[in-house]
Structure 1
Amino acid sequence: MSELLLQRLERPADGAADKNGAHMNRQLYEIIRQEILAGSLVAGSKLPASRLLAKEIGVSRNTVLYAFEQLLAEGYVTAASGSGTFVSQSFPDHSALHTVRVRSGTMPVLAAQQNQNRFALSRRGQHLVSHSGASDRQWGAFVSGVPDVSLFPHAVWARLLNKHWRAPKPELLTYAHNGGYLPLRRVMAEHLRLVRSVRCEPEQIILTTGIHQAIDLIARLLGDVGDKAWMEDPGYWGTRSLLNSAGIETIPVPVDSEGLAPDAATLQNPPRFIFATPSHQYPLGMVMSLSRRRMLLEYARQRGAWIVEDDYDSEFRFEGRPLASLQGLDEHDRVIYMGTFSKTLFPGLRMGFMVLPKPLAPHFATGLSELFREGQLVQQAVLADFIEQGHYATHIRRMRQRYAQRQGLLREAIATRLGADWPTSTHEAGLHMVIHLPPGADDLGISMAARTQGLSTRPLSRYFADPARATNQGLLLGYACVPDDEIAPAFHKLAEVIEPALEHLARTQAPRRAPAAGINREAWSGA
């Protein structure tokens, strides 16, 4: 970066710059901003330290600080306490002129070039892009929500696929209709009845390309612009993005140890939809209690709300039997059950499903064909054979054991480096876990610093929609796609990023009690 700045900075003649050096800090800001927008400085990359950069390009440190503060104020960079300054994961909306105050005074900022409106996104598009949560990294330590695709029985799948390709039936090579391949829906109905206590007939199952498409269909066919949806807070960013794009207003509802926990005021304003992950809350991991489930079902019956049950990873439960679905308790057809094969098989398969009340199923089958013109019938036929011949159940059992082992290895690494009493999420199920951080910790900054070390973590605070609750900091660590022997070294590498940030936090915040020995106790007592 220093060489680039030296080439592009225009040095004013003696006496031409004003006393505050605004000419130089403005140039510096513009050059770095342009490099970020052009993609030359990628999201997560670390900027040089202000003191070092100032020395290398021959300007005052204040000049660099002014430029960095402007970039920070506009959202182009993020400052990670104790770690540095990083290029932000998303860019701000600059569709209008605005003014940002920095140390040197008021600096007007032009939001766009003259021709920017030619390529301007809609307000809905701007909101979607600026609040995006999808990562460009989908493999390695510690990517969450991704299974170990290297352990998938590829040979078995290839054999079944070849059987269908040797003499493919014409009806498997055209568009799908009526909700998908019926033989697959038949074996799925039996599997869901035995494993998840879902009550359904094959005709109630609609095959989709995943949970995202299912949510999109639900919003389009059952919701109108302005309808409201309760969402767990924290909750899955993808659900929030889809609903907001469809014009559905999302209402963040906190969770407690028993799951979704609407207060009295919230209950007085019934929504159109209630989205929940009752079997394994995402991302914190608690299980919705039976009393809370019954309360929610009765509330939905009385108020005419639809409960959308996202059962995204319940197959991977490590202790006891898999919990029964909420849908299995529903006596009044108010639950829409969603599932996916992305976690149990591999995400690239792009296959999920919905279980709908009988009166809704034919309408959703029609809507699916009308909006998306589905296909993938050969893949659906292969999956039907894969389940019917017992390969699916065998694969689930093997992966459940492997993921339980990997979670244990990660917990050992955390205990070794941060202490056995370091707070983490529940351990009964799933493909990820959460390590909590003390109040005031910058989990976003830590995540971005970890990215520069080749590690992928997600900041817990970004899963909260309510800013008042976004003060809960932590890191989501996926362990499913990390080989056993790489888990401990990867976490120790992550700890090299976490510890300086927490030491900085402990130094800058007045301790409430005398700190004990150890980084974990010092950080928690100092926050």
Structure 2
Amino acid sequence: MQAAIVEGIFPRATRLPATRDLARELSVSRNTVLNVYDNLMSQGYVTARTGSGTWVAETLPERCLNSPRNDALSLPLVAKSAAISKRGSSLLGHANASPYQWGAFVPGAPDVTQFPHKLFSQIQARLNKEPDIDRLIYSSNGGCTYLRQALAEYLSVSRSVRADADQIIITEGIHQAVDLVTRVLCDPGDLAWIEEPGYWGTRNLLRINGLKIQAMSVDEQGIIPDLPPRTPVPKMVFITPSHQYPLGVHLSLERRKQLLDLARKHKTWLVEDDYDSEFRFAGQPFPSLQGFEPDAPVIYMGTFSKTLYPALRLGYLVVPKALAQPLRVAAAELYRGGHLLVQRALAEFILKGHYVAHIRRMRKLYSQRRRFLANLIERYLGKDFMPQVNHEAGLHLVINLPTGCDDVAVAALALQRGVKVRPLSQYYMHLQERRGLLLGYACVDERQCQDAFGVLRACLIQFGIVGRAESLKSEG
């Protein structure tokens, strides 16, 4: 259960199940559950409220944020008198980065074993033999020139992005990109719109940078803009138009026009996270919002974490020309860019066609794995559990659960049995009736997928979400 709390499956400041109920669901004695709750309380993970049960602490012990599974690193907790700021406490209290980044069914985890590591290492080794001086010092130009040029060409062809190399800034991923644009273009108290449901990482970065957050609902056409004068004008709108995270819908033509009109009229920046855009398995890819019309007020973000591997820690911003110089200066001042040798190697990897070839191979592999998982869902759970959005894209599926069921508890039980899923309710900023589970399939081969799915189905049966009779029928 400690792992489930650290994972965020039991969110901060939420009530844990009653001990009798949990003991019955897990088929263990109530004393066992009581002992677990007592241990969690003594370690600072939960608190007891007289008459209202046991609750997850709003701020977790600091050690679990960095080394939740490593008992060898169990150091004394930071003294209660440590001068952690209100902002720092807010960050720690809302920290939601998962300690589980691999295996069935981690959402968004690419199959890093399939990357051509030998080829990339050969490119790096050759370039590293006699590196230029300008790749060994601090970067103040927004990243490696060769990589920015390669990206400008690639994004123009693959994503219809309108930009030259000078408009591209290399970052260490989406988090740094969001941090940079909000620090430079927003003041504390400015309003930002985010998608509901949406990516928790963006929400937490906006919160720590002092922005007011308004969660805008998502339907089958994407984010629903509640246009002025009914609502205050946002300074920024954060969207995933090509493949909304986590639901998978794409932003309709009408909504794109509405947002662009809003941005031009009220001097709002649209921040486009082109999430999973490379992995569309049927039909033509949806073009970027940034390239929808000339000089669009759009800041475009991308990353190599899903197409190559996350530990590479390389992403990019494509910004309007008027913002290029100030954001480059700010990035150098805040982060002191580096990794120029790796960036130069990646530029060659792209320019020689290896990047496109790798994406083509992975698109075929992920399509097969998606189809295999979808067949398991339909066969062993039924059509009612199938994703409402059937766009063949991305690295995960969302299965529907009945309204009112506890998807957090289901995910916690699955985690105890070695299967890592994310509850859909966790992606909402406000309480919602909709329930579901995110199942990532990209890093799971078919045998692992089938075994893990069997474990997950058993959890759903135990909670009564899938009837035993229907389960036996499907097996026959």
Instruction: Tell me which of 487, 491, 496 is aligned to 2:449.
Output: 487
Gaps of 5+ in 1: 1-31, 79-84, 96-114, 507-515, 522-527
* C-alpha distance after superposition, 1:105-151 (max 9, x if no partner): xxxxxxxxxx9541253222222222222100111001111110000
Q: Tell me what 2:470 maps to.
A: 518
In the TM superposition, residue 49 of structure 1 has moved relative to its aligned partner by 3.2
* C-alpha distance after superposition, 1:454-494 (max 9, x if no partner): 11111100100122x2x211111110011222111211111
Q: What's the secondary structure of 1:118's corresponding residue?
A: coil
Q: What's the secondary structure of 2:463's corresponding residue?
A: helix
Maintained 8 Å contact 2:96/2:200: yes
2:94 is the counterpart of 1:131: yes
Q: Tell me what 2:460 maps to.
A: 498
Pairwise CA RMSD: 3.3
Q: Tell me what 1:369 maps to.
A: 332
In the TM superposition, residue 167 of structure 1 has moved relative to its aligned partner by 1.4
Distance in 1 of aligned mates of 2:297 and 2:136: 35
Instruction: Tell me which of 104, 107, 113 is aligned to 1:150.
Output: 113
Distance in 1 of aligned mates of 2:249 and 2:407: 21
Q: Tell me what 1:49 maps to.
A: 23
Instruction: Tell me which of 416, 427, 449 is aligned to 2:413.
Output: 449
Question: 1:422-501 alignment to 2 at 5 Å?
Answer: 422-424=385-387, 425-467=389-431, 469=432, 471-501=433-463
Q: Tell me what 1:190 maps to.
A: 153
Farther off after superposition, 137-146 or 126-135: 126-135
Question: 1:22-33 alignment to 2 at 5 Å?
Answer: none
Maintained 8 Å contact 1:313/1:343: yes
In the TM superposition, residue 267 of structure 1 has moved relative to its aligned partner by 5.0
Opposite residue 395 of structure 2, the aligned amino acid is L
* C-alpha distance after superposition, 1:76-128 (max 9, x if no partner): 289xxxxxx9x98x632499xxxxxxxxxxxxxxxxxxx95412532222222
Maintained 8 Å contact 1:503/1:519: no
Distance in 2 of aligned mates of 1:235 and 1:407: 22
2:304 is the counterpart of 1:304: no
Q: Tell me what 2:217 maps to.
A: 254
Q: Tell me what 1:379 maps to.
A: 342
Instruction: Tell me which of 202, 218, 224 is aligned to 2:165.
Output: 202
Distance in 1 of aligned mates of 2:201 and 2:221: 23
Gaps of 5+ in 2: 11-16, 62-77
Distance in 2 of aligned mates of 1:274 and 1:339: 16
Instruction: Tell me which of 30, 46, 60 is aligned to 1:76.
Output: 46
Superposition TM-score, scaled by structure 2 size: 0.85
Maintained 8 Å contact 1:435/1:475: yes
- Closer/same/farther in 2, CA of residues 117 and 484 from structure 1, 3 Å limit: same
Q: Tell me what 1:3 maps to.
A: none
Structure 1 stretches of at least 4 aligned residues deviating more than 6 Å after TM superposition: 41-48, 65-68
Distance in 2 of aligned mates of 1:271 and 1:42: 33
Q: Tell me what 1:290 maps to.
A: 253
Maintained 8 Å contact 1:301/1:332: no
How many residues align structurally? 438
In the TM superposition, residue 517 of structure 1 has moved relative to its aligned partner by 6.7
2:233 is the counterpart of 1:270: yes
* C-alpha distance after superposition, 1:288-314 (max 9, x if no partner): 111110111011101110000000210
2:168 is the counterpart of 1:220: no
Maintained 8 Å contact 2:193/2:234: yes
Maintained 8 Å contact 1:284/1:426: no
In the TM superposition, residue 176 of structure 1 has moved relative to its aligned partner by 1.5
Distance in 1 of aligned mates of 2:229 and 2:419: 39
Distance in 2 of aligned mates of 1:501 and 1:129: 32
- Closer/same/farther in 2, CA of residues 481 and 165 from structure 1, 3 Å limit: same
Identity %: 43
- Closer/same/farther in 2, CA of residues 403 and 77 from structure 1, 3 Å limit: farther
